[in-house]
Amino acid sequence: SYELTQPPSVSVSPGQTARITCSGDALPKQYAYWYQQKPGQAPVLVIYKDSERPSGIPERFSGSSSGTTVTLTISGVQAEDEADYYCQSADSSGTSPVVFGGGTKLTVL
């Protein structure tokens, strides 16, 4: 089955830039999406179609794509950004329209 691979954890100090990667063979052909989930809360969409930001999401959140890797970048990280982040895409073979990465725990030191 198709897999999206994320690092289990990323740590940064406040004000620094956090980069969370997501790798998958189909990413050159499929868009990627990113969700933020804080403890005890439902996920929130922060990036769609690789690099688009939904209304209400701070400008410090951005997304990019290069080959089989997509990256969520959080510039000027704030304490409130500490959360789990999940990438999501689709299996281009059509067997699974929605696939999530394993998630990355962002810790703000």
Partner 1 sequence: EVQLVESGGGLVQPGGSLRLSCAASGFTFSSYWMSWVRQAPGKGLEWVANIKQDGSEKYYVDSVKGRFTISRDNAKNSLYLQMNSLRAEDTAVYYCARQDDYGDYADYWGQGTLVTVSS
Where along the sequence are the contacts to partner 1 (CB under 8 A)? 1, 31, 33, 35, 37, 41-45, 48, 54, 84, 86, 88, 90, 96-103
Question: For residue 97, how far is the Cα from the chain centroid?
Answer: 18
Least distance (Å) between residue 35 CB and partner 1: 7
102 to 28, 35, 45, 60: CA distances (angstroms)? 19, 12, 16, 23
Least distance (Å) between residue 32 CB and partner 1: 9
Nearer to partner 1 by Cβ, of 30 and 71: the residue is 30
Nearer to partner 1 by Cβ, of 14 and 58: the residue is 58
Q: Are 90 and 107 in contact (CB under 8 A)?
A: no
Least distance (Å) between residue 21 CB and partner 1: 16
Nearer to partner 1 by Cβ, of 13 and 93: the residue is 93
